[in-house]
Amino acid sequence: MLFVDESSGRSTLFDFVELPVAEPLRRWLADRVARRLTTRSTVKRLPTARSLVDTARHFAVVLSEHPVTATRPEDVVAEHLLAFRRRYEHLKPRTVSSYVENLRRLLLDDERLSDDARAGLAAIRVRGMGRRDINKPGYTDTEWQEILTAVRHDVRAARDRIHTARRLLARYRSGELPDGSEEATLGRLLDGFERTGQLPRKADTNGTPEVYRCGGLVKVAGMLCLSPDELAAFALLLISLTGQNYGTIAACPAAHFRPDGGLTDEGLALVESCKPRRGPDREHMVIALEDLITGGDPDHRWSRSPLQVYRMLLDLGDTARRLSNSQTLFAGRIAKKTGHTPSPWITTLTSHHVQRWAAARGFPTANAAVPDGKPVISVKRLRRTAIERRRRPVAHSPTTLRDRYLMPHPAVQAESHAIVAAALDSEVSKARDHARVPVFTQDFVDLARRDPQAAATQAGISMGQLAGLIEGSQDTVLASCHDHLASPYTPPGVACSASFLACLDCANARALPHQLPIQLAAIDALERLRPHLPPAMWARRYAPRLDQLQDITTGFQRAEIDRAKAEITDEHRHRINDLLEGRWDVR
């Protein structure tokens, strides 16, 4: 089976002939792998393809060594799958999880598997199994700023170095530098390198004396080209600004489209990119790199604008891109050629470049990290933090944004709790306002006796209804009712037949000072009743009434409450007992 890596173009031939199983199983496993490596699958890289092939080989070994013999796919049973899981119990959960996930990908929807085998495939579980790094939090604000400070420093240094060298080269080509000067010598070296990509060398391939007087081969060549560390810094900066995956950013082409024709410094650039994990129908996408900040300090603006960083990377990598005949966005020059890197040009950015950048800047590895120390550089955490700060989907669905990125974030959880609590408090306040019994204070009663018309107008009721309330003829057990023929519980014109406890929910209810003693007696009775009832029954039946009565008491002064407590009689207590025991409801 031949597999071609779409990014690098490397090809590998996978051989299944030597699998230690019968020929039908050998062909079956090869077929299952082939189905996952089609052009329409999400597997585009060689390491992913190799991991699937290795899983098939490991499973073949399990089948060959298991006491339950299997010669055909139909012979595979749940015990074989459990044995595959047990084979790797000594490894780390993440490693075991990757093996199990790969096996599931291979055998998913295979009609030749028995029901027993399908059940076994669903049953194998690994503690902590799931998407990698999904539970790792993003960076704190302090860590975020520490990382971006180092990144911006390297990008800014690269910009200043290359622009300085270009100005020197322009002066040399215009004849402004005096002959024989050190600047003229360096200008001549830069001119030759910019045209050919080569510097003068001796027969032993070392640089000539004038090259070494100007700093050496590496330094002179680096004056016009980005180094691998600087390319990694640019990649990290673009991830922080766009929230895109590292692989997507690293594979960006230099070609782009400017809707404004490139006539302005602002606007946006449309860049075609690829994210294979989105599936064959959605893997190709267009990234819009916008100029988010306008005006202000230009030095502050460029490092916070995806478009400005993209344009700077295009500009600074132009020499390396032209000399290496590359079409990629990230193009630079390594320090020197080695056996593994026969070409001095770097046109492919990998995770190793980020690791080397982090190590050179003093950022620790995961094993060497200490509390309150420098953070570990992780492109996944960097992207997660960027998405958490943007709060918008980036190459994924709103559901993925909510479930995978925002919900696990502590800050988002705290904000969500605050928002939900505020909404609930608002609804509770609305409910209380709706259910709150208006309280007629003693001052209002005095006004009603002096000027009934003014008091009735203020209360929004008729003078006759007001008179009945003041005289007490409209009293119920816990409040007064200004119109018992307009009840929400019965048809209009029919006398209200609801429980007297329900009066506290009615818009017709009013509370007056002479009812405060019996209301306080009701509060005492409800509080004594609470320990003797199941919590659920108490919360459903009596807790709202207690809250309503306590809310009524807030309309009176402390002295009025103390005086009312002293006026509580046995008659009040008997009425409350009858009310709570339901005797008033049958009268």
Residue range 211-250, pLDDT digits in tens = 888 888 889 989 999 999 999 999 999 999 998 889 889 9
Does a structural domain hold residue 134?
Answer: no
Question: Is the pLDDT score of 327 beyond 80?
Answer: yes
* Residues 487 and 379 placed together within one structural domain of the fold: no
The pLDDT confidence band at residue 337, using thresholds 50, 70 and 90, is low
Question: Is the pLDDT score of 123 beyond 90?
Answer: no
* Residues 262 and 192 placed together within one structural domain of the fold: yes
Among 406, 434, 462, identify where a domain stops. 434
Does a structural domain hold residue 304?
Answer: yes
Phi first, then psi, for residue 269 (nearest 5°) are -125, 135
d(CA 132, CA 94): 8
Coil, strand or helix at 493: coil
Structure tokens at 27: 């062909």
* Residues 309 and 453 placed together within one structural domain of the fold: no
Helices (H), 336-395: 351-360, 379-390
Dihedral through CA 55, CA 57, CA 61, CA 63, nearest 10? 80
The pLDDT confidence band at residue 503, using thresholds 50, 70 and 90, is confident
d(CA 121, CA 80): 9
d(CA 498, CA 585): 8
- Positive or negative, the CA dihedral 407, 411, 417, 418 is negative
* Residues 198 and 326 placed together within one structural domain of the fold: yes
Cβ count near 71 (within 10 Å): 12
Write out pLDDT tens, residues 59-84. 999 999 999 999 999 999 889 888 88
Does a structural domain hold residue 320?
Answer: yes
Question: Is the pLDDT score of 351 beyond 90?
Answer: no
91 or 374: which carries more pLDDT confidence?
374
Cβ count near 456 (within 10 Å): 18
Does a structural domain hold residue 208?
Answer: yes
d(CA 74, CA 58): 19
369 or 292: which carries more pLDDT confidence?
369
Structure tokens at 506: 């009615």
Question: Is the pLDDT score of 132 beyond 50?
Answer: no
pTM equals 0.63
d(CA 63, CA 50): 20
The pLDDT confidence band at residue 191, using thresholds 50, 70 and 90, is very high
Domain encompassing residue 222: 141-390
**12-28 mean pLDDT:** 90
Does a structural domain hold residue 463?
Answer: yes
Mean of the per-residue pLDDT values of the chain:
85
Question: Is the pLDDT score of 134 beyond 50?
Answer: no
Is-contact 155 230, C-beta < 8 A?
Answer: yes
* Residues 579 and 460 placed together within one structural domain of the fold: yes
The strand ranges marked E within 262-415 are 268-274, 284-290, 332-333, 345-346
Structure tokens at 19: 């699998």
97 or 329: which carries more pLDDT confidence?
329
Cα 280 vs. chain centroid, distance in angstroms? 25
Structure tokens at 128: 């902590």
β-partners of residue 270 are 257, 288
312 or 266: which carries more pLDDT confidence?
312
Least confident of 167-176, 275-284, 467-476, 537-546: 275-284
The alpha carbons of the chain give a radius of gyration, in whole angstroms, of 39
Question: Is the pLDDT score of 135 beyond 60?
Answer: no
Does a structural domain hold residue 136?
Answer: no
265 or 550: which carries more pLDDT confidence?
550
* Residues 95 and 164 placed together within one structural domain of the fold: no
Dihedral through CA 44, CA 49, CA 52, CA 53, nearest 10? 150
**106-127 mean pLDDT:** 83
Does a structural domain hold residue 89?
Answer: yes
Nearest to 144 by CA among 374, 416, 390: 374
Quote the number of domains for the chain. 4
* Residues 405 and 492 placed together within one structural domain of the fold: no
